[in-house]
Homo-oligomer: A and B are copies of this chain.
Amino acid sequence: MIGLGLIGGSVLRAAAAAKRTVWGATTSESDAAAARAQGYDAETDVAAALRRAAEADAMVVLAVPLTVVDETLHLLAEHAPNALLTDVTSVKGPVLRAVRRWAPEARYVGGHPMAGTSRSGWDAGDAELFQGAAWVVEIEDDTDLALWAEVAEFAVSLGAHVVPLSAAAHDEAVARISHLPHLLAAVLSAVGAEGGPVAMALAAGSFRDGTRVAGSRPELVRAMTEGNREALLSVLDDALGRLGAARGSLASTGGLAKTIEAGHQGSLAFAEHREQDRAGVQLSLSAPDAREALRALGERGGRITGISGDQATAESS
């Protein structure tokens, strides 16, 4: 584990609980000390931890903020250039490009667990954080399926459900369901605060829910939203178009039916997705069409819940 904040610290705890041999490094003295105090093998010398991974042929998990991915990859290229490498960063295209540029010999399969809280740092971590959570494991045209299976099996062993997706499909989806929510929460929070103590005194459920993630650490929110610029711009345009149409309609006819109905339909679709019956599916990772079958599974909202040998057990709608 490189990085022992909320996600890295949770991965370290969950992997240790799953009886894996794990060690971590972080440039944060306080996170390293807190991890050691709880009996974990953690240090502040990232290079040393990487050399140890190279010697043991261990998987390296990058759990550092997007803004320090490049410099961490420089260290990796120097101390563990051929490592089996994954990450937990919230955008996948930029990290894939950075790995190809700075650590081209790494055997990289990107990942992203869809779990978190608005708190951060080692102390916010939790070995149970990934139970039942979606964990995207990236599959590109040139991904080695044996490496992919190792990373997917790792995620499953921490309790997560693996969603196989390309970096592009992942980044487009998270722009919609994670990065846009953060921007809308920021805008709502600022507009609410502009209303002063009266607005704060009347604020109840809808405002509290709509602004919750505005409490997240600004540098982390910036890193993930700015890091997904291309996909986020297109999704922001969609949101701006819809909000502008609502504004125009309210000003002209006074009606908001279209906006509110579309939102309600979306809410029903989300509820339906969560509640729908899913069929069990078996996939062979050595089948000739395995890559296409995995991506198709991810793109229809399916998840892998178990991996044994070259067999993946999945739930698919």
Chain A: interface size category: 35 or more
Q: Which of B115, B210, B255 contacts A210 (CB 8 A)?
A: B210
Is A273 an interface residue, CB under 8 A from the partner?
Answer: yes
Whether, in the assembled complex, A37 has its beta carbon less than 8 Å from a beta carbon of chain B, the answer is no
Q: Does A152 contact B (CB under 8 A)?
A: no
B186 close to A173 (CB less than 8 A): no
Are A191 and B239 in contact (CB-based, < 8 A)? yes
User: What's the minimum C-beta distance from A152 to chain B, rounded to whole angstroms?
Assistant: 15
B202 touches A213 (CB 8 A): no
Q: How far is the CA of A200 from the CA of B302 in the complex (A)?
A: 10
Among A16-24, A62-70, A77-85, A222-230, the stretch that binds chain B is: A222-230
Is there a chain B Cβ closer than 8 Å to A260's Cβ? yes
Binary contact readout A201-236 vs B (1 if CB under 8 angstroms, 0 otherwise): 111111101111111101001100110010011011
Q: Is the CB of A256 within 8 A of B226?
A: yes
Whether B180 lies near A267 (C-beta < 8 A) is no
Kindly list chain B residues whose C-beta atoms are within 8 Å of the C-beta of A213: 205-206, 209-210
B181 touches A188 (CB 8 A): yes
Q: Which of B116, B190, B194, B317 contacts A204 (CB 8 A)?
A: B116
Which residue from chain B places its CB closest to the CB of A271 in the assembled complex? Answer: B215
Interface residues of A (CB under 8 A from B): 114-117, 133-134, 136, 163, 165, 169-170, 172-174, 176-178, 180-207, 209-216, 218, 221-222, 225-226, 229, 232-233, 235-240, 242-244, 246-247, 250-251, 254-257, 259-271, 273-274, 298-303, 317
| 25 examples of A-B residue contacts, CB within 8 angstroms | A114-B202, A115-B204, A116-B204, A169-B198, A170-B202, A177-B203, A177-B207, A178-B202, A178-B204, A182-B206, A183-B246, A187-B243, A187-B263, A190-B263, A193-B266, A200-B269, A200-B274, A201-B301, A205-B212, A209-B210, A210-B210, A210-B213, A211-B267, A236-B243, A240-B244
